[in-house]
Structures are given as structure tokens and as C-alpha cells.
Amino acid sequence: MKKLPKCILTGATGGIGQAIAKQLSEKGYSLILVGRNIENLVMLVNKLQGKHEVVIGDITNETDRANMIAKSFNNVEPSVLINNAGISNFSTFNEVSDTDINNVLTTNLTSTIQLTHEFLKKRGGQKSTVINVGSTLGSIGFPGYSLYCASKFGLKGFSEALSREMANTDVRISYLAPRATDTNINTSNVIDMNKALGSKVDPPEMVAKELVYLLEGKKNSRFIGWPEKFFARLNGAFPELVDLSMKKSLPTILKFTEGK
């Protein structure tokens, strides 16, 4: 039987993180579950098949990141890093604070890049895989999500550039782009807006399934959902057409950003 790689999973106790952990553990992967809350991590690991490790830490904290890497490489070295930790922000740009800007960009982009850098340095060129969990909104600018889009556009660009840079090495960089997903990251306003717009919302188990396909397949990216994956391509080729579609939806979107 082929020995499966050991995986570091950040954001392990979130909705998507738990679904990823469950599906990977069922397939026989050994996991290092990273999160900020020890109780939630212990609850999760007790639900999973097989033996797994937990590491407490905040990826935005430099000391915590160094500790994550040190503890993760204590025993059998992990060869897979799944960057799943992230936060959202749904509000008009006029309403965001400097703290909001820093938190979203640091968590979703800067810290993820830094953790990836530390992981790959530790691997020293050995066969490795990094999967960055992004978003459809990393390809489509959506009103009310200016900060989130900025972070995910950045993550997509980072993933694409690094993947091409590593093309002749044993390091594989992949990017997963879910659409709206049914997790606690969504506020009541976001849930109501998705209903009003008729947006499809996927269960986290579907996202986890797509991540497993990405991990075990040969492609470097997967975009989840129709018509979202079509609009992502359309926005790249003919953004003015997406502008028109967004403009029609703008009054509805703004209604929910303002909480009316």
C-alpha cells in the first residue's frame, strides 16, 4: 500500500477545516491540526479516524508560526501544507477600519505567504505540496468584499506565480477556489444576501472533496461551482460584462452591507 504524506492543516476547527480533516483522515492521511483553541482541536481530533497531532497557534503571530513549524517537524516530517486559515469581512469600504484592513490582509495573505516560506525552507527542496484555499472572490471583485477580495486576489496571484517558479522542481503549489460555503464565517447579513441574490451555497463537505481531488490529482487549481467558475473566466477576459451584472445586483448587495 502506498504511504500517504503527512499534512499540516491550518484553520482546522473551522467549517471547511473540519470537513477536510474528516475526509483526509478517512482516506488514511496523518494530520497535524493547527488552530487557536485547544478545546476545539481536541474535540476534532477525537472524532477522526487514526492518530493525529494538534498544534496550538495563531498564524499571524511570528513566534506561533515558528513554533508550528518546529513542532510539526518533530517526528515524521510533513510534506503537505494546506493553508486553510482565513477570515472574512462584509461591509462597504467606507465602514472598514484600519484594524479590519490589517486583520484581513495579514490573516488571509501575508501570514499565509510567511508560513509557506517557512515550510518550504524546512523542506529544503524535497518533494512537497502546498494547497492554498482561496475563493471565487479571488477572481471576481464583489461589492462589500473589497478587503476579502484584495486578500484572495493576492493569494491567487502568489499561488500562480510560485507554481510557475517551482515548475522544474519537486515542489507543487496548488490553489482551490470555493464559492459561497455554508460555514460560521458567514454573518446573518451574508446568509440573507445570498438568499436574496439566489446564490448557490455549498456544504463544506463538497469543498473538502474538491480539495482531496486537487491533492491527489495533477492539476494546480480547481474552481468550484457553476456559474461562478464561468464568471471567474469571464471577468478575466471581459470584465465590463461582469461590471454590468454586478451593477444590477448592487442595490441588493448594499442593502445587506448596511444592515437594512
Once rounded to an integer, what is the mean pLDDT over residues 151-157? 99
**Rounded distance between C-alpha atoms, residue 197 and residue 220, angstroms:** 31
**Rounded distance between C-alpha atoms, residue 238 and residue 140, angstroms:** 11
Query: Which residue would you say has higher pLDDT here, 110 or 229?
Result: 110
pLDDT recorded at residue 190: 96
Is 109 among the domain residues? yes
Q: Cell numbers of 82, please? A: 494546506
User: Which one of 29, 145, 148, 175 is the catalytic residue?
Assistant: 148
- Count of structural domains within the chain: 1
Once rounded to an integer, what is the mean pLDDT over residues 132-150? 98
Is 1 among the domain residues? no
Q: How confident is the model at residue 259 (pLDDT cuts 50, 70, 90)?
A: low
Once rounded to an integer, what is the mean pLDDT over residues 20-31? 98
**Rounded distance between C-alpha atoms, residue 163 and residue 93, angstroms:** 32
Once rounded to an integer, what is the mean pLDDT over residues 149-166? 98
- Spatial strand order in the sheet of 53-56: 53-56, 30-35, 6-9, 80-83, 128-133, 171-177, 221-223
CATH of the domain at 54: 3.40.50.720
pLDDT recorded at residue 132: 99
Is 220 among the domain residues? yes
Domain coverage including residue 208: 6-257
Question: Do 33 and 57 form a contact (C-beta atoms < 8 A)?
Answer: no
Q: What is the pLDDT of residues 203-228, one digit of tens each?
A: 999 999 999 999 999 999 999 998 88
Question: Do 76 and 87 form a contact (C-beta atoms < 8 A)?
Answer: no
Q: What is the pLDDT of residues 37-80, one digit of tens each?
A: 999 999 999 999 999 999 999 999 999 999 999 999 998 899 99
pLDDT recorded at residue 260: 43
pLDDT recorded at residue 1: 59
Is 122 among the domain residues? yes
Continuous segment of H or E residues that includes residue 252: helix 239-257
Is 22 among the domain residues? yes
Phi-psi category of residue 28: left, alpha or beta, with phi > 0 → left and psi -120 to 50 → alpha: left
Q: Cell numbers of 230, please? A: 464561468
Is 113 among the domain residues? yes
Classify the C-alpha dihedral 122-13-205-195 as positive or negative. negative
Question: Do 19 and 181 form a contact (C-beta atoms < 8 A)?
Answer: no
pLDDT recorded at residue 240: 95
> Does the active-site annotation cover 148?
yes
Q: What is the pLDDT of residues 227-239, one digit of tens each?
A: 888 989 998 999 9
pLDDT recorded at residue 231: 87
Burial of 179 by CB count in 10 Å (0-12 exposed, 13-18 middle, 19+ buried)? buried
Question: Do 63 and 111 form a contact (C-beta atoms < 8 A)?
Answer: no
Q: Return mean pLDDT, the chain.
A: 96
Continuous segment of H or E residues that includes residue 30: strand 30-35
Whether the pLDDT of residue 182 is over 80: the answer is yes
Is 177 among the domain residues? yes
Whether the pLDDT of residue 87 is over 70: the answer is yes
| Closest among 15, 253, 238 to 146, alpha carbons compared | 253
pLDDT above 70 coverage of the chain, percent: 99
